[in-house]
Amino acid sequence: MRKGSLLVKLSANSIELRAGSYPPPMYNSERRSILCPQCRKLISLDEPQCPYCGLSHPGAWWKTRLFSLVALDAGSIVRTLVIINIVLFAVSVLLSSAGLSMSANPLGLLSPSNNILLLLGATGTIPIERFNRWWSLLAAGYLHGGILHIFFNMTALYQIGPLVLQEYGLNRMIILYTLGSICGFLLSYLAGVPFTIGASASLCALIGALLYYGKSRGGIYGQNIYRQVLGWVIGLGLFGLIVPGINNWGHGGGLASGIAFGFLLGYNEIKQETSLHRLLALVCIVATAAILLWALGSTCYYLFFVH
């Protein structure tokens, strides 16, 4: 009877302790859990190696700090890119000293002045050879020449971006988008295009990566992706032949670089994102932010303090 009472008493104490004690018992607080910086799976803080992705010492403070810098919400990256493009378009329109120009090209409707676009980072032989603005190879991908121009590009990004995220992951999409812009505009510069802007080179890189994915993966799903994306490629080619002022060299360079980087980076089904992918994505983010802030700052300084 006494033994039974003691058990009841201990049981009651246990219930009372469990119901009213925060934080949890000591053995839980000592064995803390974290999300692996690389694969984002729940693991123990003191694991010598992540059991899921193999990352050594995933609880090291410098790894958690480094990877947290690029731990963006995958669902919001497309929206973030769209917002950045819209904000820069609005700024370019507001800063246009010559007002809003009209053009026979429908993509030039409600377009900012070329002088403002040049200051903000338009690229081509004029900005690079005359002003040594190599950084414009990246900045130009966030500028647009008219309301229809940005509308078409952002609509395409909303349609293509989620599929690239699904098959390549967040970090590889950032790499594809950034390097696709640089490679596309670099080819157009080498081809002698004097002045060019737009997110089309980046979008074509995403299309190229999906084209490689569909062809490489195969199967019913891969074939469907390949056919769908091939339709985009044909449509872009016809659009470039019909509408004046389209930078077909930029489109082609972006498409080719997307295929090449899709092969080099791999996609989720054959290769999970690695620490190298995260590091490259971080470099792309920092470089993009630094260049766009420099472009905005230098433009405002020139307009309000020098000009």
Number of domains forming the structure of the chain: 2
Shared domain check, 203 and 242: yes
**Domain final position from 48, 65, 82:** 65
Verify that 60 and 86 share a domain, yes or no.
no
The answer to the question of residue 188 being in a domain is yes
Q: What is the DSSP annotation of 158-174?
A: HHHHHHHHHHH-HHHHH
pLDDT of residue 57: 73
Predicted pLDDT of residue 65:
61
> Could you tell me the CATH number of the domain that includes residue 212?
1.20.1540.10
| Token pair recorded at residue 293 | 């802030």
How many CB atoms within 10 Å of residue 214?
21
In a domain, 177, yes or no: yes
Question: Which of 45, 65, 85 finishes a domain?
Answer: 65
Q: Which domain holds residue 178?
A: 74-306
Q: Does residue 130 sit in the same domain as residue 220?
A: yes
Q: Same domain, yes or no, for 171 and 219? A: yes
Instruction: Give a yes or no: residue 116 inside a domain.
Output: yes
pTM more than 0.85: no
Query: What pLDDT digit, counting tens, does each position of 97-125 carry?
Result: 654 555 555 555 678 999 999 999 999 99
Shared-domain flag, residues 87 and 217:
yes
Both 98 and 243 in one domain: the answer is yes
Rounded Cα distance, 117 and 109, in Å = 15
Closest CA to 178 of 294, 293, 288, 68: 288
Question: Which among 184, 192, 203, 202 is positioned nearest to 128, based on CA atoms?
Answer: 192
Tens of pLDDT along the chain (307 residues) come to 444 444 444 444 444 434 444 444 433 444 577 777 666 677 777 788 888 777 777 777 665 665 555 455 566 899 999 999 999 999 999 998 654 555 555 555 678 999 999 999 999 999 999 999 999 999 999 999 999 999 999 999 999 999 999 999 999 999 999 999 999 999 999 999 999 999 999 999 999 999 999 999 999 999 999 999 999 899 888 888 887 788 999 999 999 999 999 999 999 999 888 999 999 999 999 999 999 999 999 999 998 888 6
Residues 294 and 202 in one domain: yes
Q: Would 8 be classed as within a structural domain?
A: no
Question: For 99-106, which contacts have Cβ atoms below 8 Å and span 24 or more sequence positions?
Answer: 103/146, 104/244, 105/146, 105/243, 105/244, 105/245, 106/146, 106/148, 106/243
Q: What's the sign of the alpha-carbon dihedral 20, 21, 23, 27?
A: negative
Based on its alpha-carbon atoms, the radius of gyration of the chain, rounded to whole angstroms, reads 26
Regarding whether 104 and 58 lie in a shared domain, the answer is no
